[in-house]
Amino acid sequence: MVSIPTDIVALIIGAFLLLFGYRVKKIAITIIWFIVGYWLVSLFVDKIVADQLWQFILCCVGGLVLGMFGMTIEKFAVFVTVGATFGMSVIQNFGPATDWTLPAIAVAVGVVTGVIAVWLIKPMIILATSIEGARLVIISILSLLGWAKPEYYLVIFLAVAAVGIIFQWNNCRRLE
């Protein structure tokens, strides 16, 4: 179970990514890589350490390591960040995988969008940060309100992501 302070932090970070992701793309890429690193370590940390404080610390260290990595190697980071964002979005929006097909589709979507992202950095970073921001905002609000994921989650997700995309695109016209 996620705590209320964590949900509030996730909501703030999500809103930041949703509306200002491209304007501060290095920070946005670092944040997304931190989230991925934190999540990856959280998958197995309970098998290594029993104490919850140490689990949290190790998850943060994993997030910091991947966050710093993402900040230093920009084109590779853009490829992986956009690919992971779109791939995770496929899994989040189309349900848990019962066999290998959904993860395979998510990886394929991730690789294709990652390659396109390197060619079209600005629009893809806007898309990726809007999508990740929308995901964080929605799951944080649902968690804070104690609501389950509604059956029309995909419609809400697409609407919130569209608001972020339009806002960022209009706000960042003159940037690179």
* DSSP secondary structure, the chain, as one string: ---HHHHHHHHHHHHHHHHHTTTTHHHHHHHHHHHHHHHHHHHHHHHH---HHHHHHHHHHHHHHHHHHHHHSHHHHHHHHHHHHHHHHHHHHH---SSSHHHHHHHHHHHHHHHHHHHSHHHHHHHHHHHHHHHHHHHHHHHHHTPPPPTTHHHHHHHHHHHHHHHHHHHTTT--
125 vs 133, more confident: 133
pLDDT at 117 over 70: yes
Give residue limits of the domains in the chain: 4-171
Structure confidence at residue 101 (pLDDT): 77
Structure confidence at residue 150 (pLDDT): 87
51 vs 91, more confident: 51
Burial (Cβ within 10 Å: 0-12, 13-18, ≥19) of residue 84: buried
> Per residue in 70-116, pLDDT tens?
777 778 878 887 888 888 778 777 766 667 777 888 888 889 988 88
